[in-house]
A and B are shown apart, each in its own frame.
Chain A
Amino acid sequence: MAVSELTEPNRTAKSAPPVKQRTGGRGPRGRERWYAYGFLSPGLIGLTVFTLFPVGMAVVMSLHEWPIFGERSFLGIDNFRHLLAEDPTFLVSVRNTFVFTALFLPLNVVLSLALAFWIANCRARQVFRVLFFIPTITPMVVSAVIWKLLYQPDGVFDHYLGSWFGVDAPNFLADPDTAMFAVVAMSVWQGIGYNLIVFSAAIDALPTSVLEAAEIDGARGLVKFLRVQLPLMSPAVFFVTTMTMITSMQVFTQTYILTKGGPGDSTVTMVQNVYENGFISRDLGVAAAGAWLLFAVILLITAVQFVGQKRWVHYEH
């Protein structure tokens, strides 16, 4: 959504007749201003105390040695240098986070898009939307705990891989070769319902006239999908990939419950690195620096996506 669209007063606002002329600080218009400040104050004070101030603090903290207890001292960019050059788990966590995103994002988008088209022909598609949304709305800790049970040796996956396919399944979560895939599979299951609803709503909003015209022109099946439906849905696809990328770079809870970052450090993510630096090693300065690096990476990828969208996203119908 363009920013101008959000801030520009809408038409009704513009056409509203100015009931009273401007009278500075007095009269009804002046009163309205004071009312506005009154209405705004709880939210604005809250946002200042709990968001704006912490953001500023986070900058300051990232430049200091800042233990939870004890003396603070100014370091400059040493925390960042430490993370990028000395901390062995940080770079691993960056790699793991990218691997997770690179697997999770396309799987999630492709599967939810396919599913959205599948249910589009159903009159009962609202039922499917709700059913597929159940994991998304379930606490992540609960989903992860349930999947941990499925992944156990002698668990369901192990058993059926053996009895149906004769495959001797690995110990999914304890094997460094499979742990990340196991985390991704669980996350796709958990996250698919959200994107399904966005895509499903986008399919419902496709202009029937255009689709019918395309059908008359002989567009069917895959051609219709690739040349007509997908371009028409490109804003939704862009929205979904951007949002999913942002959230998947912030992956933490499921890896923390499923593997605690292990085995070894094969599933440690950037957020877990921030958490452990800050609240296990109690070095808040390094944690703040790590959080800023994560934010920088997210901003960078988002910026690339926004620049790239001009080439494939069509906003006009």
Chain B
Amino acid sequence: MSTDSRTLARANSARQQGSWWTPRRVVSHVLLVLVTFLFLTPVLYALATALKPAGETFASPPSLVGSSVRWQNFADVFDYLPFQRFVVNGLLVAVVGTLVVLAASSLGAYAFARLRWRGRESLFLLFLGTLMVPQEVLVVPMFILMQEFGWVNSYQALVFPWAFTAFGTFLLRQFFRQIPYELQEAATLDGCSPLRTFRSVMLPIAKPALGVVAVFTFISYWNSFLWPLIIVNDVHDLGTVPLGLSLFFGQNSNQWHLVMAASVISLVPTLLLLIALQKHLVKGIAATGLAGR
């Protein structure tokens, strides 16, 4: 259903009833902008605090700008703690995890959507069923599993345990099913093996869906807290951003300007992804209902 035509229809009906910019509408818009601004105040205030000199956080009355604007705070964060390390760790874990998820889930999704084999539907139900199991049930035995693998306090433990959830497989299967069969048959008639068809025909078409899966997967790795808290013993070495930030915060909770500088740095990657994703945000969430939580 096209949103544009709907908007147009609404605009037309509004025009019939009078002008678009009725006083009531203007007030509503102004109020909405005001509410949005208030809503975002915590983030803006974090940025403001990150730029204030030490000791001015609780100045009365609260101000947005301190006695000077200290960009230096952002550099100081990296001196105070191995914050650089946390960022690199977080990026590494999120990128590798996302690649594993994309590979495993696109292959599986293709088998579920487009190849014919016995037991397909019942196995898919099993995949779906695992989506119901909450992470809390899994973390306890997962810890034992990591002990058995000798993976406690390792990068592997941060990446692999959560790289095989059925979410990506489910989303991509729904997408593959919408691709016309004719394309696949043409490729087969041209002598493409299923692998070749998958790589050269299906994957290129599926780029938008792969993008949605990639972004949501990256974000869930980047933001994850409970599992790193459990499996990482040496935070200075293997800490990701949320874990490192919570440690930093625990040790320097009076250094609010530095804590806020670290917080602002931590939300930059997700903010950039949000901007990149914004066109697909609605579709991505509507299609899955599972992403990004």
Contacts and interface: CB of A to CB of B under 8 A. Distances in A.
A141 to B, nearest CB: 4
Contact of B25 (A37, A121, A132, A138): A121
A145 B260 CA distance: 8
B60 A154 contact: yes
Interface in B235-269: 241-243, 245-246, 249, 256, 259-260, 263, 266-267
Contacts of A119: 32
Nearest to A247: B293
Contacts of A171: none
B143 interface: yes
B83 interface: no
Contacts of B194: 31-32, 35, 39
Contacts of B243: 141
B272 to A, nearest CB: 10
B261 to A, nearest CB: 11
Contact of A138 (B11, B58, B260, B267): B267
Interface string A13-50: 10010010000000001011101110110111011011
B102 to A, nearest CB: 11
A75 interface: no
A292 interface: yes
B157 to A, nearest CB: 11
A118 interface: yes
Contacts of A288: 137, 140-141
Do most interface residues of chain B lie in helix, strand or loop, or is the interface mixed? helix
B136 A130 contact: no
Among A12, A51, A146, A189, residue most surrounded by chain B Cβ atoms (within 10 Å): A51
Contacts of B164: 43, 46-47, 49-51
Interface stretch (B68-76, B206-214, B274-282): B274-282
B110 to A, nearest CB: 6
Interface of B: 1, 3, 6-7, 9-11, 25, 28-29, 32, 36, 39-40, 42-43, 45-46, 49, 57-58, 60-62, 103-105, 107-108, 110-112, 115-118, 120-121, 123-125, 127-128, 130, 132-145, 160-166, 169, 177, 180-181, 185, 188, 193-195, 198, 219, 222-223, 225-226, 229-230, 241-243, 245-246, 249, 256, 259-260, 263, 266-267, 270-271, 273-275, 278, 281-282, 285-286, 289, 292-293
Given A13-B177, A42-B103, 7 more contacts: A129-B282, A135-B43, A138-B223, A139-B222, A146-B260, A257-B249, A275-B230
Going nearest first, the 6 A-B pairs with the smallest beta carbon separation are: A46-B164, A43-B108, A57-B141, A141-B242, A54-B141, A39-B111
